[in-house]
Amino acid sequence: MPLFGTDGVRGLANGPLTADLALTLAQATAVVLGQGRSADARRAAGKRLTAVVARDPRVSGEFLSAAVAAGLASSGVDVFDAGVLPTPATAFLIADIDADFGVMVSASHNPAPDNGIKIFARGGVKLPDVVEQRIESAMSGPKLQPTGAEVGRIRRFADAEDRYVVHLLGSLPHRLDGIHVVLDCAHGAASGVSPETFKDAGARVTVIGADPDGWNINDGVGSTHLDKLADAVLAHGADIGIAHDGDADRCLAVDAAGRVIDGDQIMAILAVSMKERGHLAGDTLVTTVMSNLGLHRAMAHHGIHVETTAVGDRYVLERMNERDYSLGGEQSGHVIMSEYATTGDGLLTGLHLVAEMARTGKTAAELASIMTVYPQLLVNVRGVDRTRAATDEVVADAVAAVTAELGDTGRVLLRPSGTEEMVRVMVEAASEEDARRHADALADVVRERLAL
């Protein structure tokens, strides 16, 4: 089983994800990412490699980030310890101080007992698969073992948060004066920096989910639990609610009536705004195959091309980097604005969404109405041979029949799981009843034809 998953190394803290593993992983990272021309140039100039390390507030992050810092310093790397900060802040800071790489200790939207280690290369970019494989291989190989004055130092990154806030504020096309925002920080990494930044941008701010105790991260709050945010928006008569996840690389929203504004709607709003202002490179939006049909239709109406990738923000980012696109993301709220960030940034996304309200004078609901959200139903069919999903003729015929019946009012997507014997059946249709009927019928065919 590979150590790295779709977003770094993740698991139960002090279960499979131990301090020993974190230390060894950090040492291997120093070996692999300490190679190359830039690293050689630093050494030739008598300088040590540098790395930024940060974490979210879950309790296990304290010992895991300490182990990561120890592993790096023992390999001759100077560590800038940024403390509790969002994942996108870590990525930004790596580029901002020209560090050689960085490590974020976080399990994102997972519950508190879990944790994870995300590694970023120079410039604050995520690692390609081949580099992750090299790091995993290096964990069982020789390590760097400098002694004396050659060992690394661990220093507090004192102005890390201030640098990030200044960066976010500098990205805004419009101040947020006069807009009342409720922020749900998921008791996570954004609990300090997000309220500060929205206030500095001029918004009136009400905060929930911003009292992390090490155990309550994502517990009934944040972007995976929007009910409390909707209730707070209604109770306070706010204009909009913004929800982050534990490491604040996601953003979802609710309008003044408590209705959810998902990642697809946020991308639609930003894409049209960016096109109007000449900031949408190639008049193109990059998203995944899971994005709603309504997004595709809305973008076509506004003359915006949509390119789709496999599920996962890393694949969106790869396509954006390949073709220099400026906006992409996922329905889940990972939105990448490459003019300002190298990864999904929930604070940046939320600020620009609210800035569009201020710029246009429109409500969140008016902005979100730019696209019609088609009912989308997902059925997970377990206990089936996922490898045959794309080749079974009966399954293919059933998909074709439903696709023909839906015409341009819906679509079908069969997606084998990457880790389980399971096939996901997704159907979009004009009504929830039609989506359910077709999804259940296709699930039955998949279950019958591909049963193990």
For residue 73, what are the CA distances in angstroms to 52, 140, 194? 12, 19, 30
Question: Are both 201 and 58 inside the same structural domain?
Answer: no
3-state secondary structure the chain: CCCCECCEEEEEECCCECHHHHHHHHHHHHHHHCCCHHHHHHHHCCCCEEEEEEECCCCHHHHHHHHHHHHHHCCCEEEEEEEECCHHHHHHHHHHCCCCEEEEECCCCCCCCEEEEEEEECCCEECCHHHHHHHHHHCCCCCCCCCHHHCCCEEECCCHHHHHHHHHHHHCCCCCCCCEEEEECCCCCCCCHHHHHHHHCCCEEEEECCCCCCCCCCCCCCCCCCHHHHHHHHHHCCCEEEECCCCCCCCEEEECCCCEECHHHHHHHHHHHHHHCCCCHHHEEEEECCCCHHHHHHHHHCCCEEEEECCCHHHHHHHHHHHCCCEEECCCCCEEECCCCCCCCHHHHHHHHHHHHHHHCCCHHHHHCCCCCCCEEEEEEECECHHHCCCCHHHHHHHHHHHHHHHHHCEEEEEECCCCCEEEEEEECCCHHHHHHHHHHHHHHHHHHHEC
| Residue 4 falls inside a structural domain | no
What the block records as the tokens of 85 is: 């900060």
pLDDT at 429: 92
* CB-CB contact of 382 with 369 (8 Å): no
Q: Domain for residue 2, yes or no?
A: no
Averaged pLDDT for residues 426-448: 93
pTM score, whole prediction? 0.92
283 is in an annotated binding site: no
- Rounded to an integer, what distance in angstroms lies between the CA atom of residue 435 and that of residue 379? 11
Q: How far apart are CA 195 and CA 211, in angstroms?
A: 12
Average pLDDT over residues 427-439: 92
For residue 140, what pLDDT is reported? 96
Q: Are residues 179 and 290 in the same domain?
A: yes
Residue pair 112/217 in contact (Cβ under 8 Å)? The answer is yes
**Annotated binding residue 247:** yes
Mean pLDDT across 301-313 = 94
Residue 88, in any domain of the structure: yes
Q: How far is CA 100 from CA 40, 93, 256, 267, 442, in A?
A: 11, 11, 44, 31, 49
Residue 108 is a catalytic residue: yes
Residues 347 and 215 in one domain: yes
User: Which residue among the candidates 65, 74, 106, 108 is catalytic per the annotation?
Assistant: 108
CB of 47 within 8 A of CB of 99? Answer: no
Tell me if 65 is assigned to a ligand binding site: no
Q: Are 174 and 90 contained in the same domain?
A: no
Residue 44 pLDDT level (bands cut at 50, 70, 90): low
**Single residue among 337, 368, 399 that ends a domain in this structure:** 368
- Is 233 a member of any domain? yes
Mean pLDDT, all residues of the chain = 95
Confidence of residue 62 (pLDDT cuts 50, 70, 90): very high
C-alpha to C-alpha distance for 80 and 83, rounded to whole angstroms: 9
For residue 406, give the CATH number of its domain: 3.30.310.50
Note the pLDDT of residue 271.
98
| Nearest residue to 262 (alpha-carbon basis) of 252, 271, 273 | 252
* pLDDT of res. 7: 83
| pLDDT of 165 above 90 | yes
Quick one: 356 and 411 in the same domain? no
| The two structure tokens encoding residue 143 | 């390590």
Residue 61: burial class (beta carbons within 10 Å; 0-12, 13-18, 19+): buried
Where is the domain boundary, 158, 173, 204?
Answer: 158
Crossing angle of helices 87-96 and 160-171, in 10° steps, is 90
Q: Are residues 217 and 330 in the same domain?
A: yes
Over residues 245-251, the mean pLDDT reads: 97
Residue 252 lies in a domain: yes
**pLDDT score of 78 more than 80:** yes
pLDDT at 311 over 90: no
* Domain tally, the chain: 3
Say yes or no: 46 and 74 in one domain.
Answer: yes
Mean pLDDT of 83-89: 98
Average pLDDT over residues 208-225: 97
For residues 169 and 38, membership in a common domain is answered with: no
Q: Do 272 and 147 share a structural domain?
A: no
CATH of the domain at 18: 3.40.120.10
Determine the residue type at 350.
G
Residue 263's closest CA among 427, 125, 373, 410?
Answer: 373
Tell whether 215 is covered by a domain: yes
Average of pLDDT values for 218-236? 97
Please state which of the ranges 309-323, 333-347, 349-363 shows the lowest mean pLDDT: 309-323
Q: Is the distance from CB of 267 to CB of 285 less than 8 angstroms?
A: yes
Q: Are residues 341 and 424 in the same domain?
A: no
- Known binding residue 20? Answer is no
Report yes or no on 131 lying in a domain.
yes
Same domain, 419 and 442: yes
- Whole-number pLDDT of residue 418: 73
Please say which residue of 131, 158, 185 terminates a domain.
Answer: 158
193 and 151 share one domain:
no
Residue 296: domain span = 163-368
Residue 1 included in any domain: no
